[in-house]
């Protein structure tokens, strides 16, 4: 089976999604910035735009397994997520005087929070889902990261949910119970 890399998605299909902060800057290092992401995922989920199966928030990037259920007005939930979080992060960066790090020379924008190369790969089955969930959950303790001693100890991840069944974020769904 050939896995297709896409920068777009189709409604009601499950995707592995990755987005990276501009120039891999560690914007997502702070608890407050991670919580901004978690809170918006919770909001989009509560309003019926997305279903989140797995996630991790790293200092420079995010990984999700999610299903986008319907458009948010004219925008896709992915577009809403990237746009909203970018605007909120820019407010924070302007307040603390670091927005210059995210300046770009582009005709349509002055700053870039998320790099333009976000990735969506459709999840074709449970085996591929398990592989991607393991990748997501072990990301904080792999390679250079060492963000926790054990992958289950990294707070901004769905790893504990899959281990205990307890959803401390209020938006997680177990992909293995999906039809």
Residue with more model confidence, 137 or 10 = 137
pTM (2 decimals)?
0.94
Segment 156-175 mean pLDDT: 97
Give, in degrees to the nearest 5, the angle at Cα 161 between 1 and 71.
65
CA distance 25 to 114: 10
Q: Which fold would CATH assign to domain 5-177?
A: Alpha-Beta Plaits (3.30.70)
């Amino acid at each position: 089976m050939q896995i297709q890399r896409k920068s777009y998605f189709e409604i009601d299909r499950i995707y592995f999604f990755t987005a990276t902060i501009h120039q891999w800057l560690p914007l997502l290092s702070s608890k407050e910035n991670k919580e901004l992401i978690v809170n918006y995922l919770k909001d989009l989920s509560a309003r019926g735009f997305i279903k989140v199966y797995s996630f991790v928030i790293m200092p420079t990037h995010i990984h999700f397994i999610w299903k986008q259920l319907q458009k948010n007005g004219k925008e896709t939930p992915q577009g809403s997520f990237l746009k909203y979080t970018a605007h909120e992060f820019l407010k924070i960066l302007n307040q603390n005087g670091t927005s210059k790090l995210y300046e770009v020379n582009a005709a349509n924008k002055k700053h870039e929070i998320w790099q333009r190369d976000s990735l969506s790969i459709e999840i074709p089955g449970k085996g591929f889902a398990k592989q991607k969930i393991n990748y997501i959950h072990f990301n904080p303790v792999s390679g250079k990261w060492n963000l926790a001693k054990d992958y289950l100890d990294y707070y901004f991840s769905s790893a504990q949910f899959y281990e205990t069944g307890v959803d401390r974020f209020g938006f997680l769904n177990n992909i293995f119970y999906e039809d």
